[in-house]
Amino acid sequence: MPMELNPRLRVIAGCVTDVKTMADIGTDHGYLPVALIEKGKLVSAIACDVNEKPLEKAKKIIEDYGFDSSIETRLGSGLSVLKPEEAEAIVIAGMGGLLIRDLLEAEPEVAAAAKKLVLQPMNNQAVVRRYLETNGFKIIHEDLAREGDRIYEIIVAQKGVMIVEDHLDYELGYRATQTKHPLLEAHINRKIRFEEKILDHTRGKTTAIARKQFTESQAYIKRLNEVKKCL
């Protein structure tokens, strides 16, 4: 039976292009490398995880599909299990943005040697984009994936120079307003709902922090609504 990926992993898989080798950091069950090898998109892959139990499950799935000679499994934290240039593409998906930043920062030579980084932070996406900008990477593609009410942000980067001129590029996605992704309006609406919760929580409070949060959220919502009008 062919490997079926959920919408999030399908979009991530679609970003792993023009490479022959990949490392999947935090592979969990190994679905992504199996699907890419199965479709002939890769010659080989390395499935990595910091936890032994999911890695054992990944090994079993890899063996069941007959790809144990093409997909190697490695136990360890982040990019520490890789050598520079060992994988053309490095995928780090399903983790918090702060953790993704820390993993890239811990092994800068490995990250810099990759032809492509495919990152899918679950939160703090702006932190990841700022890290890329200030550490010699440029975002070459962004995508969105929807599962139920949740929208996931996928960031593809490589070594290069990137200058972010608009603060919204950190928050919505690099040049998202130019590409006008079909899910962009829903993506913006989700961010507006989040900021409205902050307004509800801080409205009428007198502490300096609460007043600052209220004012910033008001301004951010206004800016997001302005972007929506241009879509």
pLDDT for 95-112, tens place per residue? 999 999 999 999 999 999
| DSSP at 128 | H
pLDDT for 111-166, tens place per residue? 999 999 999 999 999 999 999 999 999 999 999 999 999 999 999 999 999 999 89
pLDDT at 110: 97
pLDDT at 177: 86
CA distance 148 to 82: 34
Q: How confident is the model at residue 206 (pLDDT cuts 50, 70, 90)?
A: confident
pLDDT at 86: 96
Backbone angles phi and psi of 69, in degrees to 5? -85, -15
Q: How confident is the model at residue 178 (pLDDT cuts 50, 70, 90)?
A: confident
Helix (H) or strand (E) holding 187: helix 184-202
pLDDT for 31-88, tens place per residue? 999 999 999 999 999 999 999 999 999 999 999 999 999 999 999 999 999 999 999 9
Contact, 130 vs 100, CB < 8 A?
Answer: no
Radius of gyration of the chain (CA): 19
CA distance 48 to 86: 13
Work out whether strand 150-159 and strand 137-147 pair parallel, antiparallel, or are unpaired.
antiparallel
CA 165 to chain centre: 21
Closest CA to 73 of 111, 100, 34: 34
pLDDT at 92: 98
